[in-house]
């Protein structure tokens, strides 16, 4: 059962309370992936989308299914392939023989949580079908606009080491993702725990075996998202965020720096992260923590910088070391 949010002096305290319950339940299915799941929940509270990057078998799909179950959200999965058409994702009008009329057949995009599996396997035309939905939370089909549900989140996955038969995501598409989250192998101790769970009957394809309990619903998620908006932000934080973005744009090692959407994403993500931590205000460490997840997929290194061994992560670390921290 879910309940209404109770009033409190700390406006965002309910966010931390609900997050702790969700995280505790998620551990029934997810082993050794606390950080990626936390970032996914933060993105949900910030009304953002996430790109999960990791090799097969690291529980990316399970994270999406677990989150959908815990918040009682509708869930749909699209397996992106080279022959996938935009209409396969957003839907199309279908002629009805019985009455001679055209009726809309909605695609899987009309859901709460959409898992776009191996999104980089679809051509740019199909990838672009998500652009309007991710930014404006609506889709246009043959000139008619259709709103998406109030709770709408895209969780896309891609394999970082397989390039045959893939299409690089265009910058405009990448910019729509709030976070790019690396999903790595769990520690050996956690993997051993996973094996014990499998041995004792856990089935990742049947979440009922984990006895997951839904703790919130889409209506309450909307309330939590509104509370996140009330997180206090000092002027120094605004200046810190824009200084970081500006540093990426002026870096000689980058062809492309962070866009204004990156600055906005860093702000909204930090507000949600602060609320999850039980605070109704942002501190500089919130910004530092989220910078790699917000910027790594939005910046583009120069070829000579890559030859020298520079990576987006190391460059962002250097920038954070150079930009003055507000006091």
Per-residue pLDDT at 245: 97
pLDDT classification of 101: cutoffs 50, 70, 90? confident
Average pLDDT over residues 277-300: 96
Per-residue pLDDT reduced to its tens digit, 124-153: 888 888 999 999 999 999 889 999 999 999
- 231-322 classified as CATH 1.10.3720.10: no
Mean pLDDT (the chain, rounded): 91
Average pLDDT over residues 276-290: 96
Residue 92 has pLDDT above 60, yes or no: yes
Per-residue pLDDT at 5: 46
pLDDT classification of 234: cutoffs 50, 70, 90? very high
Taking CA 196 as the corner, what is the angle to CA 191 and CA 199, rounded to the nearest 5 degrees? 125
Q: Which CATH number fits domain 35-205: 3.40.50.300, 3.30.930.10, 3.30.450.20, 3.40.50.150?
A: 3.40.50.300
The residue extents of the domains of the chain are 35-205, 231-322
Per-residue pLDDT at 188: 96
Per-residue pLDDT at 165: 63
Predicted TM-score (pTM) of the model is 0.92
β-pairing, 91-96 vs 101-106, is antiparallel
Average pLDDT over residues 59-73: 95
Per-residue pLDDT reduced to its tens digit, 183-229: 999 999 999 999 999 999 988 888 878 888 899 899 999 999 999 99
If DSSP states are collapsed to H, E and C, what string results for the chain?
CCCCCCCCCCCCHHHHHHHHHHHHHHCCCCCCCHHHHHHHHHHHHCCCCEEEECCCCCCHHHHHHHHHHHCCCCEEEEECCCCCCHHHHHEEEEEECCCCEEEEEECCCCCCEEEEECHHHCCHHHHHHHHHHHHHCEEEECCEEEECCCCCEEEEEECCCCCCCCCCCCHHHHCCCCEEEECCCCCHHHHHHHHHHHHCCCCCCCHHHHCCCCCCCHHHHHHHHHHHCCCECCHHHHHHHHHHHHHHHHCCCEEECCCHHHHHHHHHHHHHHHHHCCCCECCHHHHHHHHHHHHCCCCEECHHHHHCCCCHHHHHHHHHHHCCCCC
Residue 327 has pLDDT above 90, yes or no: no
């Amino acid at each position: 059962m879910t309940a209404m949010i109770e009033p409190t002096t700390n406006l965002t305290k309910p966010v931390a309370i609900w997050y702790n319950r969700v995280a505790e339940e998620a551990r029934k299915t997810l082993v050794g992936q606390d950080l990626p799941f936390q970032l996914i929940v933060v993105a949900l509270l910030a009304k953002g989308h996430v790109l999960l990057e990791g090799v097969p078998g690291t529980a990316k799909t399970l994270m999406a299914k677990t989150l959908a179950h815990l918040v009682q959200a509708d869930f749909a999965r699209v397996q992106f392939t080279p022959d996938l058409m935009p209409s396969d994702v957003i839907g199309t009008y279908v002629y009805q023989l019985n009455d001679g009329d055209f009726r809309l057949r909605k695609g899987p995009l009309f859901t709460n949580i959409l898992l776009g599996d191996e999104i980089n396997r679809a051509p740019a035309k199909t990838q672009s079908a998500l652009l309007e939905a991710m930014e404006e939370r609506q889709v246009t089909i043959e000139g008619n606009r259709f709103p998406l549900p109030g709770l709408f989140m895209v969780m896309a996955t891609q394999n970082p080491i397989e390039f045959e038969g893939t299409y690089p995501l265009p910058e405009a598409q990448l910019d729509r993702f709030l976070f790019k989250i690396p999903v790595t192998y769990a520690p050996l101790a956690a993997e051993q725990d996973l094996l014990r769970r499998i041995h004792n009957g856990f089935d990742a394809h049947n979440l009922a075996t984990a006895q997951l309990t839904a703790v919130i619903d889409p209506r309450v998620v909307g309330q939590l998202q509104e509370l996140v908006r009330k997180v206090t932000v000092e002027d120094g934080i605004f200046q810190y965020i824009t200084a970081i973005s500006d540093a990426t744009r002026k870096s000689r090692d980058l062809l492309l720096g962070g866009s204004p959407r990156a600055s906005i994403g860093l702000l909204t993500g930090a507000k949600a992260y602060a609320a999850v931590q039980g605070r109704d205000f942002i501190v500089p460490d919130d910004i530092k923590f989220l910078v790699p997840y917000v910027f790594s997929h939005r910046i583009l290194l120069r070829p000579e910088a890559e030859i020298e061994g520079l990576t987006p992560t190391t460059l962002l670390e250097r920038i954070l070391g150079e930009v003055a921290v507000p006091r």
